[in-house]
Amino acid sequence: MSTAAENTEPVAAADASARIRHARISPLAAFRKFWPLVRVNRAALMASTVLLVASAGCDTAAIGIAGRLTDDVLAPGDLGAFWGPAVLWLSLAAAGAVASSAGSYLAGWTSEHFVLGLRDRVFQHLQQLPPDSLDRFGTGDLVSRLTGDIEAVESLVASAPVELITAAVGALVFAAAAFWTSWQLALITFGVAPLIWFGARVFGTLMRTATRAERDSNGRLASLLEESLANMPLVQAYGRGAAEHSKIHREGRTWMRMGLRQIRLNALYGPLGELIETFSVLAVIGAGAWQISEHHLTVGGLISFSAFLGYLHPRLQELGELLVHASSATAASERLLEVLRARPAPEAAPGPAAPPLAQPARGAVTFQGVGFSYPGSGRRVLHQVDLEIAPGLLVVVTGPSGCGKSTLGKLLLRFHEPSQGRILLDGRDIRELPVDELRRHITLLPQDSMLFNGTIRDNIVYGRPDASEAEVLAAAVAADVHDFVSALPEGYLTPVGKRGNNLSGGQRRRVALARAMLRSAPVLVLDEPTTGLDDASTARIMPPLRRLAAGRTTFLITHDLRLAAHADLVLHLADGSAGASVPASPVEAAVEAPAA
């Protein structure tokens, strides 16, 4: 058997050459990309659009009645002519209110369902990514994308179609009514519409760039905050508070500048639109006064036209704002697409359907000429690993940091694919197996005892939610958890706190061991199980570790050569050389491997 580890394996999935690239797409392309999530609720979307358009129609008719009341009731002082138009006006107002309320609710219902569906889709995709790929983004930045960016995309894909159709139809209806009332005044009004559209185009382009910069900075700030808060004990112990505050402050100032840039653009765009609208109104009033003096238009007609104009300009302004907001939302769409385009964990190799593994698998593991380089690094971590492990053996994997020890476990779990060679489980190439099925037969005990913010029992049954109480208790006893849990007031219902902070390091490790025992998979990967524990805690955790490994094919990744005393096979990885030995005694296990 021969292996090589020529370079250190990266902490992240890739080095600086694998930095995230910003995708650039158009608002229309972003809309098409996410539209399928809205299309499933298109009936509600269409109904809301129809109702909102009907509400605009009621408003238009009501304005026409207001003009009739002016000319037929107020001007001649004929109270008898008041009641008919008044009842009609009130009826239209009631119908418009009902239509507007129902349409707004349905539009909001569609939007909220879109947000839920998109967040589910992005989160499910994140669950399929290899852990190293997630490191490219940072936890805080991913949270920002799953919240603020998704809400911004909703404004483009779910809300915008209703707003666009409603505003456009409303603008057309009010424009037609205005044209019918006075085509001369209508031409004056329509003359300023291109100015509104041109302003929206210019400000939309500027806003898109500003929003992209603001969202990126927000993600970086969230990641810095998450990292600094998680490591606060270390920050305090090393007296690095000022340095951490400086980092947060610098990124916070960057975010503030990007936010102020957006505020400036919004502050300019709104008043500019109002200025154009004021110019149009003054022009209409002047021309309308002339038409009244020439008896081409009645006072009621001018009032109706002014009302139509009062409804028309906000619709034109809304259309312009939609263009600006679409550009802003496109920046958020680009950030989500960067996540969705990240390569997920590999699926089964294409080909004829292969039969599933035996239940349970025996646990025979074979590495045949396996080599690996991290994507984008160009550096070879493993080379020509040939290893055949019979079921139930304990293999201790040792070597200096960065030599590729953890990489073996990642390849076995198919977080990555080998660059060359193949890995077999019970004689089957693991690439032929669906990832979920493969991982049902492998239990990972990571270096960090990852616990969720729930009870001790919740964390033990995490890998087997359907386990019986007897099975949970047996796993807890075997992992040396039961004694300390029994002394707690709430027992197994004791909250562990965020990341298990309510427990000691040794207690967290034993809870993680109980979780692994309960899962009872035939292959076990233990990644530095004693890291961070003192001698007493290590001594206490070793019996549960031996019970966990008993009868399982176990890869024990460790720097601690004392653990090699329990091995059936020792695999030593080092720069440029590697060796494996089957020790004749526990002592030989610790000394033969480095000499290979």
3-class SS string, 73-88: HHCCCCHHHCHHHHHH
What DSSP line would sit under 347-368, residue for residue? Answer: -PPSSSPPPPPPSS----EEEE
Report the SS3 class of residue 143.
helix
Q: What's residue 301's pLDDT?
A: 60
Band of the pLDDT at 221, cuts 50, 70, 90? confident
Residue 521 near residue 553, CB atoms below 8 Å: no
Q: Name the percent of the chain lying above pLDDT 90.
A: 0
Q: What's residue 17's pLDDT?
A: 32
Give residues with Cβ within 8 angstroms of 264, minimum separation 6: none
Band of the pLDDT at 586, cuts 50, 70, 90? very low
Average pLDDT, the chain: 74
Q: What total number of domains does the chain contain?
A: 2
Rounded Cα–Cα distance for residues 179 and 193 (Å)? 14
Please state whether 534 falls in left (phi above 0), alpha (psi between -120 and 50) or beta.
Answer: beta
Residue 572 placed within a domain:
yes
Residue 20 placed within a domain:
no
Closest CA to 332 of 236, 197, 213: 213
Mean pLDDT of 155-167: 80
Task: Please tell me whether residues 328 and 386 are part of one structural domain.
Answer: no
Residue 66 placed within a domain:
yes
Closest CA to 566 of 589, 548, 584: 589
333's tokens: 């769409």
Q: Name the percent of the chain lying above pLDDT 70.
A: 68
Task: Please tell me whether residues 302 and 379 are part of one structural domain.
Answer: no
Rounded Cα–Cα distance for residues 514 and 473 (Å)? 9
What would the pLDDT profile of 426-454 be if each residue is shown by its tens digit?
888 888 888 888 888 888 888 777 788 88
Task: Please tell me whether residues 371 and 332 are part of one structural domain.
Answer: no
Q: The domain containing residue 444 runs over which residues?
A: 365-595
Rounded Cα–Cα distance for residues 16 and 151 (Å)? 30
> Omega before 360 cis (within 30°)?
yes
What DSSP line would sit under 292-346, residue for residue? Answer: HHTTSS-HHHHHHHHHHHHHHHHHHHHHHHHHHHHHHHHHHHHHHHHHHTS----
Rounded Cα–Cα distance for residues 572 and 303 (Å)? 90
Place of tokens 């129809």: 50
Q: What's residue 289's pLDDT?
A: 64
Band of the pLDDT at 576, cuts 50, 70, 90? very low
Residue 4 placed within a domain:
no
**Max Cα-Cα span within the chain:** 118
Task: Please tell me whether residues 260 and 404 are part of one structural domain.
Answer: no
Least confident of 282-286, 442-446, 566-570: 282-286
What DSSP line would sit under 80-125, residue for residue? Answer: GGTHHHHHHHHHHHHHHHHHHHHHHHHHHHHHHHHHHHHHHHHHHH
Task: Please tell me whether residues 311 and 423 are part of one structural domain.
Answer: no
Task: Tell me, rounded to whole angstroms, the distance of Cα 283 from its chain centroid.
Answer: 50
Task: Please tell me whether residues 294 and 413 are part of one structural domain.
Answer: no
Q: What's residue 291's pLDDT?
A: 61
* Residue 54 identity: A
Task: Please tell me whether residues 311 and 385 are part of one structural domain.
Answer: no
Residue 352 placed within a domain:
no
Rounded Cα–Cα distance for residues 439 and 291 (Å)? 82
Report the SS3 class of residue 492.
helix
Task: Please tell me whether residues 333 and 371 are part of one structural domain.
Answer: no
Question: What kind and span of H or E run contains 246?
Answer: helix 241-293
Q: Is the dihedral of CA 307, 309, 314, 319 positive or negative?
A: positive
Q: What are phi and psi of 585, to 5 degrees?
A: -150, 165
What would the pLDDT profile of 515-539 be if each residue is shown by its tens digit?
888 887 888 888 887 776 667 767 7
Sheet-wide strand order for 380-389: 380-389, 365-373, 420-425, 428-429
Task: Please tell me whether residues 329 and 456 are part of one structural domain.
Answer: no
Closest CA to 89 of 62, 70, 59: 62
Neighbours of 467 (CB within 10 A): 18
Residue 375 placed within a domain:
yes
Mean pLDDT of 452-476: 87
What would the pLDDT profile of 114-139 be if each residue is shown by its tens digit?
888 888 888 888 888 877 777 777 77
The DSSP call for residue 19 is: P
Band of the pLDDT at 371, cuts 50, 70, 90? confident
Closest CA to 400 of 159, 154, 119, 593: 593
Q: What's residue 294's pLDDT?
A: 61
What would the pLDDT profile of 339-360 be if each residue is shown by its tens digit?
888 877 666 554 445 566 666 6
Residue 284 placed within a domain:
yes
Residue 356 placed within a domain:
no
CATH code: domain of residue 323:
1.20.1560.10
Give residues with Cβ within 8 angstroms of 517, minimum separation 6: 475, 478, 479, 544, 547, 548
Neighbours of 404 (CB within 10 A): 26
Which of 340, 374, 404 terminates a domain? The answer is 340
pLDDT exceeds cutoff 60 at 594: no
Give residues with Cβ within 8 angstroms of 551, minimum separation 6: 392
27's tokens: 């608002």
Task: Please tell me whether residues 60 and 149 are part of one structural domain.
Answer: yes
Which of 302, 325, 340 terminates a domain? The answer is 340
Q: What are phi and psi of 67, to 5 degrees?
A: -65, -40
- 335-370: b (≥16 Cβ within 10 Å) or e: bbbbbeebeebeebeeeeeeeebeeebbbbbbbbeb
Task: Please tell me whether residues 236 and 385 are part of one structural domain.
Answer: no
Give residues with Cβ within 8 angstroms of 134, minimum separation 6: 13, 126, 142
Mean pLDDT of 276-304: 63
Torsion of CA 330, 333, 337, 338, to 10 degrees: 80
Rounded Cα–Cα distance for residues 340 and 33 (Å)? 11
Task: Please tell me whether residues 371 and 334 are part of one structural domain.
Answer: no
Q: What are phi and psi of 368, to 5 degrees?
A: -120, 105
CATH code: domain of residue 545:
3.40.50.300
